[in-house]
Amino acid sequence: MQGSLDLPDLEHCQRCPRLVDYLAQLPPRRGRQRSEYWNRSVAGFGDTDARLWLVGLAPGAHGANRTGRPFTGDGAGDFMYPLLHEGGFSNQAEATSIDDGLQLIDLYISNAVKCVPPANKPTAAEFNTCRSYLVEEWRQLSNVRVILALGRDAFLSVLRMFKELGMVDRPADYPFKHNGCYLLPNGQRLLACYHTSRYNVQTRRMTPELFQQVLTHARQLMDDQK
Ligand code: SF4
């Protein structure tokens, strides 16, 4: 089923004072108005029965924080969505606005931290505070077989979630490695991937080929566990 999970109070959550202050004064990009911006927490979206859950870091200031949907309207999404479409994970390659008709197939996308942080860097306390929503997403996404974490920080937040749930003793036992995969005690797989940020794409740390490899790996893992 397409949509967003039901996360109580997410839309009006103000538990991170630094992020609330940042959102209150974030200037729009040149040529845009603040009134065009979503400027609040950004819920995940996609197929709520999905077997693949992609977890990013946090909304981009002028991407998800503007459009209200993860990875929509910025460089990270412009890179990622056409490749997700090519991999059979969506009905279209374009992701421009919350009402552009994009539907995800067997995939749900959300972020480890739901509000935009200054300089794209949530604090440890903000990761920890927002993790209650990550746990709730994990509980509701009951068909997920593979969790694809984009970037080291999202990967670590997912591991810390499993530590809180009593399934992982030491996150340090699961080092981040691009396309590296770990079997979790509950049978789910945690797959690591470099972030698709504009910086990573420009520096060629992330390329279409590298992302396609991870998607192919994710698909194999999903299908292996049918
Ligand atoms: S980052 Fe998460 S916990 Fe913090 S204010 Fe936003 S929604 Fe609430």
| Residues in CB range of 11: below 8 A, 6 or more apart | 40, 41, 43
| 75 in Cβ contact with 192 (< 8 Å) | no
**Atom 8 of ligand 1 has which residue's CA nearest to it?**
13
Query: What confidence tens digit (pLDDT) does each residue in 105-151 have?
Result: 999 999 999 999 999 999 999 999 999 999 999 999 999 999 999 99
How far, in Å, CA of 27 to CA of 39, rounded?
A: 10
Which residue type sits at 205? R
| 104 in Cβ contact with 90 (< 8 Å) | yes
**Atom 2 of ligand 1 has which residue's CA nearest to it?**
130
Give percent of the chain above pLDDT 90.
98
Q: Which residues line ligand 1 (CB under 6 A)?
A: 10, 13-16, 19, 41, 113-115, 126, 129-130, 133
Question: What does the angle CA 199 – CA 215 – CA 3 come to, to the nearest 5 degrees?
Answer: 90
In ligand 1, which atom is closest to the CA atom of 13? 8
How far, in Å, CA of 153 to CA of 193, rounded?
A: 11
The band of 200, judged by pLDDT with boundaries at 50, 70 and 90, is very high
Give the phi and the psi of residue 83 in degrees, each rounded to 5.
-75, -35
Give the phi and the psi of residue 19 in degrees, each rounded to 5.
-75, -35
Query: What confidence tens digit (pLDDT) does each residue in 51-79 have?
Result: 999 999 999 999 999 999 999 999 999 99
Give the mean model confidence (pLDDT) for residues 160-177: 97
The two tokens of residue 44 are: 């995940």
Edge-to-edge order in the sheet of strand 2-3: 2-3, 45-47, 107-111, 52-56, 146-150, 189-193, 181-183
- In CATH, the number for domain 2-224 is 3.40.470.10
**Atom 6 of ligand 1 has which residue's CA nearest to it?**
115
Give the mean model confidence (pLDDT) for residues 190-209: 96
How far, in Å, CA of 138 to CA of 212, rounded?
A: 24
226, pLDDT greater than 90: no
**Atom 3 of ligand 1 has which residue's CA nearest to it?**
130
- For residue 108, the cross-strand partners are 46, 53
225, pLDDT greater than 80: no
How many Å lie between the centroid of ligand 1 and the Cα of residue 224? 35
Q: How many other C-beta atoms lie within 10 A of the C-beta of residue 224?
A: 10
